[in-house]
């Protein structure tokens, strides 16, 4: 299984499956990480394998979505592959929701109780189509892969911060140590 993060600038990176934190465990930042950021994402599971998928067919390749975030090491001098490879830094719940005709849900990320990003799920379908089509031009997507679509800006976090992922009033929380 791949975790593929599609960034707001149209680039993407692969994260190892060891980065998956699917039960909102608290995150213990390694001592060598001096700075880190959290980015809100919406995850989708790939339900059909494909390569070079045209935009018009991309909706056939995903079926569910879930709110989450990624944590990245932003210590000066750390390369992108190293920044995205830390264990337990792809945070998502296993409570996926049907993506066909994404209903208008309010998705938000809070840090220490303050909302940093809010997005409407109704606007995500076209973004997922573009992401899946773009990724499949260079990488084969496989059944079970997870695509993480960045939906908001990165926000710096520090030990002691509490991160909450909210969907229509339901909240999942974890702490940074």
Coil, strand or helix: which one is 119? Answer: strand
Give backbone dihedrals phi and psi of 175, rounded to 5 degrees, phi first.
-120, 150
What is the torsion angle, in degrees rounded to the nearest 10, for the CA atoms of residue 24, residue 41, residue 81 and residue 58? 120
Which range, 93-97, 108-112, 119-123, 164-168, has the best average confidence (pLDDT)? 108-112
What would the pLDDT profile of 41-91 be if each residue is shown by its tens digit? Answer: 999 999 999 999 999 999 999 988 888 999 999 999 999 888 888 999 999
Please count the structural domains in the chain: 1
- CA 120 vs CA 8, 11, 128: distances in Å: 16, 22, 14
Closest listed residue to residue 35, CA positions, set 5, 79, 72, 90 = 72
Number of residues assigned to the chain: 177
Q: For the chain, what percent of residues have pLDDT higher than 70?
A: 97
> What was the pLDDT predicted at 31?
93
- The residues near 11 (Cβ < 8 Å, ≥ 6 apart) are none
What would the pLDDT profile of 101-119 be if each residue is shown by its tens digit? Answer: 556 778 899 999 999 988 8
Give the CATH number, domain containing residue 76.
Answer: 3.90.850.10
**What is the span of the domain harbouring residue 145?**
3-175
Taking all residues of the chain, what is their mean pLDDT, rounded to a whole number? 91
């Amino acid at each position: 299984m791949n975790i593929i993060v599609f960034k707001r600038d149209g680039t993407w990176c692969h994260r190892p499956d060891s980065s998956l934190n699917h039960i909102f465990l608290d995150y213990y930042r390694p001592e060598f990480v001096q700075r880190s950021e959290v980015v809100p994402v919406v995850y989708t599971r790939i339900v059909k394998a494909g390569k070079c998928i045209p935009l018009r067919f991309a909706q056939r390749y995903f079926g569910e979505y879930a709110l989450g975030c990624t944590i990245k090491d932003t210590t000066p001098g750390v390369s992108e592959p190293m920044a995205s490879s830390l264990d337990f830094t792809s945070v998502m719940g296993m409570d996926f929701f049907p993506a066909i005709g994404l209903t208008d849900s309010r998705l938000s990320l809070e840090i220490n109780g303050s909302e940093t990003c809010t997005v409407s799920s109704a606007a995500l379908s076209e973004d997922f189509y573009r992401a899946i089509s773009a990724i499949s031009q260079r990488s084969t997507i496989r059944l079970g892969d997870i695509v993480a679509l960045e939906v908001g800006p990165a926000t710096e976090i520090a030990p002691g911060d509490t991160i909450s992922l909210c969907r229509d009033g339901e909240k999942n929380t974890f702490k940074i140590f």
